[in-house]
Amino acid sequence: MPRVTFTANLQRHLDVPSLEASGARVCEVLAAVFEQRPLLRSYIVDDQGRLRRHVNVFVNSVLITDREGLSDAVRPDDEVFVFQALSGG
């Protein structure tokens, strides 16, 4: 089952330890995560289900290409990394 890991930035706002979540595409894996941690959804995707502008998702070390449909493939042994970018100066 894919493992999903979140940056410390998100962990300052919510309790989001690394989780295992089933799915063959990023959208399915994230949906499974949101079932376990419903409050996390609004930090990661907008009301249309697209990644928020300040969020990046990697499958292993590769940045996903489909930020709107989240259709990038995920294998059972993959690790999904969810990064929330920092901004400011």
CATH fourth-level superfamily of 3-84: Beta-grasp domain (3.10.20.30)
Distance CA 4, CA 16 (A): 10
Distance CA 9, CA 32 (A): 21
Domain boundaries, the chain: 3-84
Query: What would the two tokens of residue 29 be?
Result: 């894996």
Q: What is the pLDDT of residues 13-67, one digit of tens each?
A: 777 888 999 999 999 999 999 999 998 899 899 999 999 999 999 999 999 999 9
Query: What would the two tokens of residue 22 be?
Result: 């089933």
Full-model pTM: 0.90
